[in-house]
Amino acid sequence: MDFLFKKATLEDLDLLTATRIQVLRAANKLADDVDMSEVKSQSYKYYEKALSEDSHIAYLIFDGEQFIGAGGVSFFQVMPTYHNPSGKKAYIMNMYTAPQYRRKGIAYKTLDLLVQAAKERGITAISLEATEMGRPLYEKYGFVKMNDEMEL
């Protein structure tokens, strides 16, 4: 199968936002009747600003005209450290493949496009949150579990 991997633009805001809500519903096991209107509104604003500023890259995947997947990476700056002297970081997010298209290499190729985009910017510190279903993909790519990070 030959799939189209399209780098998202401002023209894709509605599809990006809808996909974000779909991913969040699946990852958090949320029913369709859970109100996501505020998250939807804020996600739209995020994509609009981040794509304009080039601080986020997203790919949309199609089989012909049918949307079948997505993935994104956000770029940000933290204080420099010994292991990351530039302080530049990337965060992979919103990875999604339609159920009937899974296990065909789509997510792996999407992940590779996102990692390569980060590396082209000189970023070597790339992180993500993995669901149980996604963890094998990320481990296959070379991501390792972090033990020292905490969250409040």
**CB-count burial class (<10 Å; 0-12, 13-18, 19+) for 83:** exposed
Is residue 93 situated within a structural domain?
Answer: yes
Is residue 151 situated within a structural domain?
Answer: no
- What is the pLDDT, as a whole number, of residue 132? 86
- What is the pLDDT, as a whole number, of residue 15? 95
Token pair in block for residue 60: 């949309």
CATH of the domain at 48: 3.40.630.30
pLDDT at 139 over 70: yes
Is residue 147 situated within a structural domain?
Answer: no
Is residue 45 situated within a structural domain?
Answer: yes
Is residue 22 situated within a structural domain?
Answer: yes
Is residue 150 situated within a structural domain?
Answer: no
Q: pLDDT for 87-115, tens place per residue?
A: 999 999 999 999 999 999 999 999 999 99
pTM above 0.85, yes or no: yes
How many structural domains comprise the chain? 1
Neighbours of 138 (CB within 10 A): 20
Is residue 23 situated within a structural domain?
Answer: yes
Could you give the angle at the alpha carbon of 74 between the alpha carbons of 45 and 128, nearest 5°? 120
Is residue 152 situated within a structural domain?
Answer: no
Domain with 87 in it: 4-141
